Chain A
């Protein structure tokens, strides 16, 4: 009973000392007064006069103010009280110069805001765990070819073949369970004349959602029976498709929807938050349902992604060993096919963010640099203000103010600036983050981005840290030990400020060095973007419209039907006014990887697939190369003759010829690769054409073109119409789409894009990060030039008298101009050299996102150095000119 009583007492006293501080202080005064009175009374009783009694009592009593402070210092919240007082002082000092305060707060708000935004995204995308059950135990398993080089994200992996996955799952038990999925696509049509629509979809094994721990919003996941070859057709809708196309129909379960004209029964709806692997996914079907039986049993059809759940406490490295051993046995059993030797894992989160990790970290570093520059700038301004208050501080130090108190008091100013800036910055970042998340093309987990407690804590932490960084140096420098020097320092001598000027120059040098690093990094990124933008795809990009379509396999089940559609479409489109030429290709240049095949060259047999030869696969109509102006280098291109069964001919790209037939004529040579129904067949090379890029940001890859007029089902169903137009290509998109509708009203057309749009789409993320870093660099440049201008103006004001004497003694104005200019430019040059070293280091860190430029790109360095020097000279010139115009007489008199 006693203990809680005491706690309660202490609490009551703590509250009352916090809330009734004024009254408590008054009571303390009364108490001390009472003590004094008692002493006086006693003294008088001893026979002193009233006056004597009072002064004797006061003597014995000591300094009442000090006594009061000593008693008060025992109270709780004393530290808080001091802190509040410091803040009040800080606020008062700041409001005395509102211009400085506003600029400093805005600078910090921009710096902290931008940092908080980037952190919000990094936190949501890279750091937050995936929204699945116990996500730390989810890993991806890939095949691993020992001879293959690393993928662009620096990890050697290959998607998995269906038969590999099935063997892994059935024959190894080191993982708790594993699931597989692959991309696929469907045309959605309706029975009541709904608009046809092409949707991206996933084919997932029946246990996919249970391994991830995703409960269905409606209905149930797939059953093992549904995930088998030849099983009945079922589908699970994503929430967005369910809401958008089916208006959230509560009776959707058990209903049929038409996909590629085949009826599928809806068995479930996924929850709203489920957007794996990306938000474009519209629906899911069972994994086995998208494979023809002969493909499902193959070990060399690499296209699936395997997600596995680790047993509790198990390590991925240990769990994958049996899988890898099994894979090696599979490899040995299939030596004549491209089957991987090993299996490798990586955490699912790492797998999802691989593409954005480097750009995000680059941006975060850039924004951190900018924040540091902002800190240095505010620090610089505070040093200048500290100089003005030097005497005041010295006097207070001499009167007994401890250095700690003085430093804390001065830092309260930077604390206020940074806290206000941080608050404002947080508001800014809430707006900016949404904008960033919306405009960042292909950012994974974008729906998880929002400001939360972590971000709030980060912002507060960043504000406090910046307050220390920007406030400590000025406070230390202005409360130095040379109190006497400061007091003696007459306004006539300028020597006292020399050390502070040095400090400011050092800060400035650091600021400029950081700015140079940012400028160079942004220059390299921008050059990359420009390079990608202007990089020729290897074909015509002006006035070309592309649109893709996929003929449903059920209706278009024979080569004749497929060819009939393709040819009548081309004929109709070519007749349209404004169309100069039209042709078909499976995927247009710049439109993506699509697919690759491995092949062998029968004339040069090799024993195994240790070093595979693979090339991109395209199907093309006879007019494709002419329409896209891809040059024919050797031999001939397809004619109307390579059709139906006479399809064993290919056209190859220059890279293909150079790589696989170096110093030889490939025309007439044969290769052996996948033909009809997945069987291996021989194809004769009839021509060599110029290289085209499948992605502007990727190196050239060899390409094999197969005749689209073979009409092979599954191989030629999907096509891209490319039309070279006389005028604005987009103006023809509706007339061309009408030709589709005339031939098959149920057929959706998708990806209606001009070639220029394809190029800009694939450079949009480079554009985005280059623009952002450039904006950060520009802002930093402005900050640095403000700093430069401020320091130099200050120095000129300090040296007015000296310059006046120089001029009076006969110095030329040009000499003075040079003197001041060089004084200002010296830190610029030192900063520049340091910054160049930093820039090279930064460049080598972002090497993986640079294309078409080296980290020592002379044009980037020249432009950026020129930019900096020009800005620096302008910032220095103003104070220098002012210095050279000083009137000697006035300068000497005004002291």
Chain B
């Protein structure tokens, strides 16, 4: 399974959860959204995205539903569950702890 070389390990879950926290999105839109917001820095590969989505669904953090896109096509929309929302909070906190720690180390010189 290809790991996202351009993502810090374990952050993909956080990005996905955050991205769909405002409104339900399908896989394509999630990848696009992450790319846009990060100014094309973060490129999510399909090989990482879909396994991650399915894993999060199996764990009960996100829920999938088929509905129509603006273009009138059927797509699988992912939305946060209540458990997913608290998971997002946990992931956010752990991320900020981690990035603060990394910054401390990097800036110390």
Q: Which A residues fall within an 8 A CB radius of B?
A: 2-3, 5-7, 9-10, 13-14, 17, 27-28, 30-32, 34-35, 37-39, 61-62, 66-67, 70-76
Contact = CB atoms under 8 A, between A and B. Distances in A.
B58 A32 contact: no
A530 to B, nearest CB: 69
B51 A13 contact: no
A9 B79 CA distance: 14
B40 to A, nearest CB: 14
Contacts of A5: 81-83
Contact of A71 (B50, B73, B75): B50
Contact of B46 (A2, A14, A17, A67): A67
B60 A6 contact: yes
B95 interface: no
Given A6-B82, A75-B54, 15 more contacts: A2-B86, A27-B66, A31-B26, A31-B27, A31-B76, A32-B46, A32-B50, A34-B27, A35-B46, A62-B47, A67-B50, A70-B50, A70-B51, A75-B58, A76-B58
A623 B66 CA distance: 106
Nearest to B45: A62
A435 to B, nearest CB: 52
B1 to A, nearest CB: 5
Given A2-B82, A34-B73, A61 B46 contact: yes
Contacts of B59: 10
Nearest to B75: A34
B90 interface: no
14 contacts: A2-B82, A6-B81, A9-B63, A13-B57, A14-B58, A27-B66, A30-B74, A31-B75, A34-B75, A34-B76, A61-B46, A66-B47, A70-B1, A71-B54
Interface in B47-99: 47, 50-55, 57-60, 63, 66, 73-76, 81-83, 86
A104 B56 CA distance: 46
A379 B73 CA distance: 57
Contact of B28 (A6, A17, A34): A34
A598 B105 CA distance: 95
Contacts of A67: 46-47, 50
A35 B55 contact: no
A74 B63 CA distance: 15
Nearest to B53: A71
Contacts of A17: 58
Nearest to B87: A6
B43 to A, nearest CB: 10
A362 to B, nearest CB: 54
A75 B64 CA distance: 14
Contacts of B82: 2, 5-6
Contacts of B1: 70, 73
B26 A34 contact: yes
A219 B76 CA distance: 76
Nearest to A31: B76
A422 to B, nearest CB: 34
B93 to A, nearest CB: 18
A779 B58 CA distance: 52
A62 B74 contact: no
Contacts of B53: 71
Contact of B58 (A13, A38, A61, A66): A13
Contacts of B75: 31, 34
Tell me if A's interface is mostly helix, strand, loop or mixed: helix
A43 to B, nearest CB: 13
A75 B74 CA distance: 22
Contacts of A37: 73
Which among B55, B58, B74 has the greatest number of chain A C-beta atoms within 10 A? B58
A35 to B, nearest CB: 5
A74 B54 contact: yes
Interface in B10-29: 26-28
Contact of A70 (B47, B60, B86): B47
Nearest to A72: B54
B71 to A, nearest CB: 8
A61 B66 CA distance: 22
A34 B63 CA distance: 18
A7 B34 CA distance: 29
Contacts of A72: 54
Contacts of B46: 32, 35, 61-62, 67
A10 B54 CA distance: 12
Among B46, B81, B82, B86, the one with the most A-chain Cβ atoms within 10 Å of its Cβ is: B46
A75 B53 CA distance: 10
Contacts of A14: 58
Contact of B83 (A9, A27, A38, A74): A9
Contacts of B27: 31, 34-35
Contacts of B28: 34-35, 38-39
Contacts of B55: 74
Contacts of A10: 58-60
Nearest to B28: A38
A9 B81 contact: yes
Contacts of A71: 50-51, 53-54
B60 A9 contact: yes
B60 A13 contact: yes
Nearest to B55: A74
B108 to A, nearest CB: 39
Nearest to B57: A13
A27 B77 CA distance: 12
Nearest to A73: B51
Contacts of A62: 45-47
Given A34-B26, A38-B28, A74 B58 contact: yes
A703 B43 CA distance: 102
A270 B33 CA distance: 83
A74 B73 contact: no
Contacts of B66: 27
A27 B64 CA distance: 11
Contacts of B83: 2-3, 5-6, 9
B18 to A, nearest CB: 19
Contacts of A35: 27-28, 46
B58 A34 contact: no
**Which of A9, A28, A37, A66 has most B Cβ within 10 Å?**
A9
A588 B40 CA distance: 106
A334 to B, nearest CB: 81
B58 to A, nearest CB: 6
The list of the 5 closest CB pairs from A to B, nearest first, reads A6-B83, A9-B60, A74-B54, A71-B50, A74-B55
Nearest to A66: B47
A23 to B, nearest CB: 12
A795 B46 CA distance: 53
Contacts of A61: 46
A66 B52 CA distance: 15
Contacts of A2: 82-83, 86
Contacts of A28: 50, 54
Contacts of B26: 31, 34
A406 B109 CA distance: 53
A15 to B, nearest CB: 12
A179 B7 CA distance: 79
B76 A27 contact: yes
A318 B81 CA distance: 65
A71 B46 CA distance: 10
| Residue from A17, A28, A70 whose CB has the most chain B CB atoms within 10 Å | A70
Nearest to A1: B82
B76 A30 contact: yes
A30 B28 CA distance: 13
A678 to B, nearest CB: 85
Contacts of A66: 47
A93 to B, nearest CB: 30
Interface centre among B1, B50, B81 (most CB of A within 10 A): B50
A405 to B, nearest CB: 16
